A and B are shown apart, each in its own frame.
Chain A
Amino acid sequence: MGERHDLTVTLTVNGKPVTKTAGAHLSLLRWLRDVADVTDPKYGCGEGVCGACTVLVDGEPASSCIVLAAQVDGASVTTAAGLCEPDGSLGPLQRSFHEQHAAQCGFCTPGMLMCAHAMLRDADHPLTRDEIREGLHGNLCRCTGYTDIVDAIEDAQGAAR
């Protein structure tokens, strides 16, 4: 157990600047959840396997449980709540998730959405179902069996084109 010290970190979370002083050793996930009370990214495994903590860091998906908040000081972080419209209603990808029944217990959903969002944004061609599945392989879901999630992403892709 080494010496622990505090560090001030500023992140833009879903468009709002947040500055907090907390342990330098805190993961981005713990910083968001326990320090900034941004609780939609979830703890599922703590070792970057399950994807429940996926957020966008400067637009790129990252497992926030294995990134230190201090490492990304100054970055812009987007969570699932950041995909909502300004009035708080569901954004297009979220609406597809809702209509296609892509969330059951919902615990994997915030991470799943961030992965799907980046996947669709970066696609240079309409993704096949297999390509969507490939893109989701780092995000585990134990409730849906994935079919409805693939449907939702396919649906959102169709709506966007």
Chain B
Amino acid sequence: MNGEVRTSKLEELRVVHQGLARPDQAEKIAGTTRYAGDLSYAGMLHARVVRSQVPSARLTRRDASAARAVPGVVAVLLGEDVPNNDIRVDVPGQTVAVGALKATMQVLATERVRFHGEPIALVIAETEDALAIACELVEVEYDDLPVISDPTEALADGAFEVHDGGNLLAEWRIDRGDVDAAFASAHVIVEDEYRTQFVDHAYLEPEAGVGWLDDDGVLTLRVATQVVEHYRDVAKILGVPDSKVRVVAPYVGGGFGGKEDMTVEPYVALAVWHTRRPVRMQWTRNESLLARAKRHRNVMRYRTAAAADGTLLAQDVEITSDAGAYAYLSALVLLYSTVHACGPYRVPNVRIRSKTAYTNNPPTSAFRGFGGMQMVLGYESQIDDVARALGLDGAEVRKTNALAKGDRLPVGQELITEVWLPQTIDAVRERAGEMPSPSGPRKAVGRAIASNMQSYGRLVWLNDSAAAWIGFQMDGSLTVRCAVPDIGGGQAASLGQIASEVLAVDLSRVSVHFGDSALNPLAGTTTATRQLLMSGNAAYEAAVMLRDQLLGAVAAETGHPADSLRMEPGEVVGPETSMPLLQVLQLCRRTNVPIEALGTFFGPKGTEVTRDLEGDRIFPDFTFGTHLADVEVDLDTGEVRVLRYIAAHDVGRAINPMSVEGQIAGAAVQGLGQALLEDVVVTEGVNMVPGLFQYLIPTATDVPDIESVILESGEGLGPFGARGIGEPPIGPPIAVIPAAIADAVGARPTVLPVTPERVLSCIAEARAQEG
């Protein structure tokens, strides 16, 4: 723990709320964890995808004969060999201009490719060596088509159509109050345009998996994924019943949204289906960078009106995002951008227009923060500009406008839990103390804060649910079964903690079976900061049911009322009675009381949105936070060094403070990477970052210690009042770094990443303004 925990109204807890070193971490540190690429089977084949070398073309020839002739090659599959080659994506809410659009992409392209890296053929071979040779021999000829490299270009009249029917994939609108009147009456108006870049998830584990056919004809995939429910999508591709596909997720080597869409699954499945043998596929880093969807590039145009005291009066926001070549989750990511556009502030008059367009760039989809995080750069830069224009303190302007419980967001949703935004602002400022001094005459230091809000839990009209099963063994130990994928955040371990807490069983005697779509109750995706809310509540419910079953059995036997009894380690205890746990379990067996329980948690409900967003609840709830950064800028080179970084979030209740701190610190550094370093450069549709030499994520020397401050309002919707914390801390860094640079040099960077060149431009701009 590098940070601190500040809490309120805490009930007595034994296991939950303790900073516990997790059992999964011990195995990982011992080197014994078998990740998706670490298992091999006798007779296992190897498979690899042959990908498009160009971003936009008609395929005039696909010839696998030379590849098939390579000794050791078992098969080369083309799109025609895929039972159902079309993957269709629903794009909800688009009922007016766009229509109820069904977006389609192919498992293996047959006629046309739309991005550099698109899959064309699947090669299956006895050895990796034969595979490598054969992949080079799959002959593909291209008839080049125009390349659409920018969403603005894509949306222009007469633009070449990336998909038939036009390049507009989705649009959303929010209208609230009278924006024009509010701008007319404003004391100050600020405006600017902000641009974010394509970002790669760059988890250390490239996509990988092994598949095989079980004796009962069930195709089993053991893959690195955030979503075991993709077994349904795989079944659709193969044209088999859902019950004939099983997805097992071992511990995943990082997800961040990049393993939310399918990656290796369809290809491993096809290879197994075709050969009836075990097959392994491991993407190279180059493939991972080429083929997998990125974070959306956003262009965000903001105009903000405020009164003389800093009260926000109106905001007018236009968002254009780059959907890349295929739909994936772009419409929903844009919906998040739209709903989060005004940030954690009360803005009475709002007009938001957002569009996402097809291009021939890499597809874009889910990435930690899911469209909400890009907007932090916009709304936080605007609030700083308002403060500066009025000569006010930015922190005070934030507090003046901070949302509170009972307020409604521009989209209409009422906030039903406490908003501790002001507390997070105070926390980082109190901890920060004095500003550091510059280390030399040609250096300048700056300090800034940035706040944010980010939803946790899925969109309410998706009717989310999660289930978990908990059962006592006859020796008093406990088994938890829940199909939650564990991607490194302690998703499985926290369920064990919850079960241990409620049932008073020592953690060392709790086993959690996770990530298996066939043998465990389904818990939904490890995405959208939803697992603690969803599977956490399901496990809590199962544990409470099980506890009540046991207490009921003891009550019936002893005549003491059940509500006078409680579980203690090793026994059930009441005012004048106690019974050892093993005896209680025997009693349950004798009196037909189950010693297991299935808990199902249903998320909050709501009606499906239309393109014009208005009315009601859209997310379960939100997490709020504030970060503070001190930077030093080298005025000659434009180099930026982050000297100090403090991050405060209200997490409601920390189930495991060490895991919470890990999420905050990790997300902060991932956000710092986006702020300062990372950029998937795409030139005319060609991806220019083939490896980690070119795609720079932060090293240990690029970032300072992350000091986290965990605030606990006790007001979250998760178990014990927890809020989700997986995504929220990635937003503030991309705003706080430009703001701290602005504080140091006098002009604000508005384009990410803030490279030394862009910093030098800011320095020049500031000088020009002075002169």
- The reply on B33 being an interface residue by CB < 8 A is yes
Cα A7 to Cα B136 with chains together (Å): 25
Say whether B692 contacts A39, CB under 8 Å: no
Decide if A136 is an interface residue (CB 8 Å cutoff).
yes
Q: Which of B25, B128, B136, B489 contacts A34 (CB 8 A)?
A: B128
A49 to B289 alpha-carbon distance, docked (Å): 15
What string of 1s and 0s marks CB contacts (under 8 Å) between A75-119 and chain B? 000011100100010100010011101111111111001000000
The residue in chain A whose Cβ has the minimal distance to the Cβ of B486 is: A105
With both beta carbons as reference points, the residue of chain B lying nearest to A129 in the complex is identified as B705
Indicate if the CB atoms of A144 and B666 lie closer than 8 Å: yes
Judged by DSSP, the binding face of B is: loop
Chain A residue nearest to B707 (CB atoms) is A147
User: Scoring A residues 117 to 159 as 1 if CB is less than 8 Å from chain B, else 0, what string do you get?
Assistant: 0000000000001001110111111111111111100000000
Residues of chain A within 8 A of B699, CB atoms compared = 136-138, 140
A64 to chain B, nearest CB (A): 14
Binds A, one of B198-206, B586-594, B681-689: B198-206
A133 CA / B698 CA spacing, docked (Å): 12
Whether B662 contacts A49 by the Cβ 8 Å rule is no
Q: Whole-angstrom distance between the alpha carbons of A147 and B664 in the complex?
A: 11
The residues of A that contact B129 with a CB separation of less than 8 Å are 4, 23
Any B CB within 8 A of the CB of A43 = yes
Question: Do the beta carbons of B29 and A103 come within 8 Å of each other?
Answer: yes
- Say yes or no: B204 contacts A90, CB within 8 Å: no
Give the complex CA separation of A109 and B30 in angstroms. Answer: 9
Q: Is the CB of B668 within 8 A of A81?
A: no
Interface check B166, CB cutoff 8 A: no
Residue of A34, A46, A102, A137 touching B40 (CB-CB under 8 A): A34
Contact (A43, B206) CB under 8 Å given A84-B30, A129-B705: yes
Q: Determine whether B28 belongs to the interface, using a CB cutoff of 8 Å to chain A.
A: yes
The chain B residue sitting closest to A134, CB to CB, is B701
A45 within 8 A of B: yes
- Most chain A CB within 10 A, of B201, B204, B669, is at B204
Chain B residues near A104: list those with CB within 8 A. Answer: 25, 254, 488-490, 662, 666
Q: Is the CB of A43 within 8 A of B282?
A: yes
Asked whether, in the complex, the Cβ of B21 is within 8 Å of the Cβ of A101, the reply is: yes
Most chain A beta-carbon contacts within 10 A, residue among B30, B251, B489 = B30
CB distance from B162 to the nearest CB of A (A): 31
C-alpha gap A136/B701 in the complex (Å): 8
Cα A4 to Cα B129 with chains together (Å):
9
Which chain A residues lie closer than 8 Å to B697 at the CB level? Answer: 140, 142
The answer to whether A50 and B692 touch across the interface, beta carbons within 8 angstroms, is yes
* A94: B residues at CB distance < 8 A: 29-30
Q: Is the CB of B661 within 8 A of A110?
A: no
CA distance A30 to B131 in the complex (A): 15
Query: Would you call A108 and B665 a contact (CB within 8 A)?
Result: no
Q: State the CA gap A52–B252 with chains docked (Å).
A: 15
Q: Which residues of the other chain, B, contact A79 by a CB distance below 8 angstroms?
A: 31
Closest to B708 in A: A147
Given A46-B284, A104-B662, A52-B30 contact (CB < 8 Å):
no
B30 touching A150, Cβ below 8 Å: no
Q: Is the CB of B31 within 8 A of A40?
A: yes
From B30, B284, B662, B692, contact of A144 by CB (8 A): B662
Contact B662 A101 (CB under 8 A): yes
Query: Do residues B203 and A109 form an inter-chain contact, with CB atoms below 8 A?
Result: no
CA distance A40 to B700 in the complex (A): 22
Task: Contact check, B670 vs A150: say whether CB atoms are below 8 A apart.
Answer: no
Q: Are A142 and B254 in contact (CB under 8 A)?
A: yes
Q: Which parts of A24-62 form the interface with B (CB within 8 Å)? A: 30, 33-34, 37, 39-40, 42-47, 49-50, 52
- Cβ–Cβ contact A145 & B706, under 8 A: yes
B691 interface contact, C-beta 8 A: yes
What residues on B are CB-neighbors of A49 within 8 Å?
Answer: 691-693
> Which B residues between 614 and 666 are near A, CB-CB below 8 angstroms?
658-659, 661-662, 665-666
Is B439's beta carbon under 8 Å from chain A?
no
Determine if B703 is an interface residue (Cβ-Cβ < 8 Å).
Answer: yes
In the assembled complex, the Cα of A140 lies from the Cα of B620 at a distance in Å of 35
| Contact assessment for B661 and A101 in the assembled complex, using a CB-CB cutoff below 8 Å | yes
Within the assembled complex, what's the spacing in Å between the Cα atoms of A114 and B180? 62
Minimal Cβ-Cβ distance residue in A for B70: A1
Q: Out of B136, B203, B661, which one reaches A1, CB within 8 Å?
A: B136
B29–A109 contact, CB under 8 A? yes
Q: Bound state CA distance, A46 and B282, in angstroms? A: 12
Q: Residue on B with the closest CB to A84?
A: B30
A43 near B37 with CB under 8 A, answer: yes
Contacts of B698 on A, CB cut-off 8 Å?
146
B519 within 8 A of A: no
Name the distance in Å between A116's Cβ and chain B's nearest Cβ. Answer: 11
Cβ-defined contact, B204 with A141, below 8 A: yes
Residues of B within 8 A of A141 (CB): 204, 700
Enumerate B1-46 residues with CB–CB distance to A below 8 Å: 2, 19, 21-22, 24-35, 37-38, 40
A42-B35, A106-B253 known; A145 vs B669 contact (CB < 8 Å): yes
A89: min CB distance to chain B, Å: 8
B29 touches A80 (CB 8 A): yes
A113 pairs with B29, CB closer than 8 A: yes
Expressed in whole angstroms, the Cα–Cα distance for A121 and B489 within the complex equals 31
Known A1-B136, A34-B128, A81-B31; judge A142-B670 contact (CB<8 A). yes
Asked if A105 and B668 make an inter-chain contact with CB atoms under 8 angstroms apart, the answer reads no
What's the minimum C-beta distance from A30 to chain B, rounded to whole angstroms?
8
The answer to whether A107 touches B203, judged by C-beta atoms less than 8 angstroms apart, is yes
Partner of A151 from the list B2, B21, B35, B256 (CB cut-off 8 Å) is B2
Residues B488 and A143 in contact, CB atoms below 8 Å apart: yes
B462 contacts the other chain (CB 8 A): no
B285 within 8 A of partner (CB): yes
Docked pose: A71 CA to B375 CA in angstroms: 51
Chain B residues with CB under 8 A of A140? 204, 692, 697, 699
A142 lies within 8 A of B204 (CB): yes
When distances are taken between beta carbons in the complex, the residues of chain B under 8 Å from A151 are 2
Instruction: Report B171 CB to chain A, min CB distance, Å.
Output: 33
B residues in contact with A80, CB < 8 Å: 29-31
Does A105 contact B487, Cβ atoms closer than 8 Å? yes
Given A104-B662, A145-B669: A45 in contact with B700 (beta carbons within 8 A): no
Q: How far is the CA of A101 from the CA of B489 in the complex (A)?
A: 11
Q: When A46-B285, A146-B700 are in contact, do A110 and B31 touch as well, CB less than 8 Å?
A: yes
Contact of B133 with A by CB under 8 A = yes
Residues of B within 8 A of A134 (CB): 700-701
A107 contacts which of B32, B205, B282, B691 (Cβ < 8 Å)? B205
CA distance A136 to B669 in the complex (A): 15
Q: How far is the CB of B135 from chain A (nearest CB, A)?
A: 11
Contacts of B254 in A (CB 8 A): 104-105, 107, 142-143
B701 touches A142 (CB 8 A): no
| A21 CB → nearest B CB, Å | 14
Are B204 and A105 interface neighbours, CB within 8 A?
yes
Q: A42-B35, A140-B697 are in contact. List 9 more A-B contacts (CB 8 A).
A: A37-B40, A50-B692, A99-B21, A104-B490, A105-B254, A107-B203, A144-B662, A145-B706, A147-B2
Q: What are the 9 closest A-B residue pairs judged by CB atoms, nearest first?
A: A106-B28, A105-B488, A107-B253, A40-B31, A145-B669, A80-B31, A145-B665, A81-B31, A136-B700
Q: Can you list 7 A-B contacts with CB-CB less than 8 angstroms, sorted by A residue number?
A: A43-B206, A47-B692, A98-B29, A105-B205, A106-B29, A133-B700, A147-B2
